[in-house]
């Protein structure tokens, strides 16, 4: 079986590629390298440096490779950029995804796994943890664009019988995560503390997120190849953690004496509190997280330290 992974040279996507290779799948990667890196990919992986908005180029790849499965991770992921440039966000996350779905139908793709967001899609839920039936009220264009594709997946299933699974991620962290631009706070804190820079927390440090280590996300993507037809799943830890707790956990993993972070105003589009209910994933995807926050952050810190030593 051949799987095409969009965004497969990026942080999460490259780990998913590794997971699929371990399952014996033939993997094709499409990535424009705007955030990803070739060194994230195992030697010999079939790779195309293509922007998913490039319709003709993407069509040519489908003609040549004829994938059986699609795993769609390529996206505009910068929440701040989405607020500044909502049309660009929609072009990348909605229009390009629709074209990908059309190609999937044209070429007889057997399954479509879509990486959505559980961190931005629900907005500020009235009750936590949020399950998959919680009203979707995103407060950023990014959340809107990621959710819109879920509707198109449902539609293409009804119209054309395309099997799909949606994975709504919490805040994913782990090795290979970028610390540049709009990136994960764990990666940013790791790199800054290793360089002797005082990290900045936006807000008062009490905002909560639901963090999930990337290897747990990979296992969900593997399970989604065989289970969960037509379903949406929250993929997270089910534990809410504050910004300050993340700061402290990274500092302790680096064995740095106590110090205080800098603080700045909360940024537009950021939710105050989010936590996800995992009951459905446990029941229907046969999945649950296995990596605790402390172990996951230690693993991430060790990766950043090794990378810094190589520079």
Rounded to 5°, angle at Cα 174 from 169 and 178: 90
Using a 10 angstrom Cβ sphere, with 0-12 exposed, 13-18 middle and 19 or more buried, the burial of residue 57 is middle
For residue 38, give the DSSP letter.
G
**What positions carry a catalytic annotation?**
142
CA distance 119 to 164: 21
The answer to whether 229 touches 292, Cβ cutoff 8 Å, is no
The answer to whether 186 touches 237, Cβ cutoff 8 Å, is no
Q: Distance of alpha carbon 54 from its chain centroid, rounded? A: 22
Q: How far is CA 153 from CA 16, 105, 175, 284, 300, in A?
A: 21, 11, 30, 19, 33
> Which residues have a Cβ under 8 Å from the Cβ of 86 and sit 6 or more positions away?
141
CA distance 12 to 8: 8
Cβ atoms < 10 Å from Cβ of 64: 10
The answer to whether 170 touches 209, Cβ cutoff 8 Å, is yes
Q: Which stretches within 133-257 are classed as H helix?
A: 141-160, 185-194, 214-223, 243-253
């Amino acid at each position: 079986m051949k799987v095409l992974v969009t965004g497969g040279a990026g942080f999460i996507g490259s780990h998913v590629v590794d997971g699929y290779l371990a399952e014996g799948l033939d993997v094709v990667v499409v990535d424009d390298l705007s955030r990803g890196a070739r060194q994230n990919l195992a030697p010999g992986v079939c790779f195309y440096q293509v922007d998913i908005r490039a319709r003709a180029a993407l069509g040519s790849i489908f003609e040549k490779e004829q994938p059986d499965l699609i795993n769609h991770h390529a996206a505009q992921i910068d929440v701040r950029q989405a607020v500044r440039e909502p049309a660009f966000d929609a072009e990348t996350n909605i229009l390009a995804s629709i074209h990908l779905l059309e190609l999937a139908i044209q070429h007889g793709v057997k399954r479509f796994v879509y990486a959505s967001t559980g961190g931005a899609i629900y907005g500020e839920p009235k009750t936590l943890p949020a399950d998959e039936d919680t009203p979707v009220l995103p407060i950023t264009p990014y959340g809107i664009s990621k959710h819109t594709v879920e509707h198109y997946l449902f539609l293409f299933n009804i119209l054309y019988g395309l099997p799909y699974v949606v994975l709504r991620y919490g805040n994913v962290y782990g090795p290979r995560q970028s610390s540049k631009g709009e990136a994960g706070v764990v990666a940013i804190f790791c790199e800054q503390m290793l360089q002797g820079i005082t990290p900045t927390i936006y807000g008062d440090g009490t905002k909560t997120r639901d963090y999930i280590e990337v290897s747990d996300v990979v296992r969900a993507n593997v399970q989604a190849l065989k289970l969960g037809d037509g379903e949406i799943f929250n993929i997270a830890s089910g534990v809410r953690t504050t910004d300050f707790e993340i700061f402290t956990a990274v500092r302790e993993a680096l064995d740095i004496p106590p110090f205080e972070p800098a603080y700045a105003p909360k940024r537009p589009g950021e939710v105050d509190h989010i936590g996800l209910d995992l009951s459905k994933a446990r029941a229907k995807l046969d999945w649950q997280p296995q990596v605790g926050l402390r172990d996951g952050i230690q693993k991430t810190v060790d990766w950043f330290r090794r990378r810094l030593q190589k520079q």
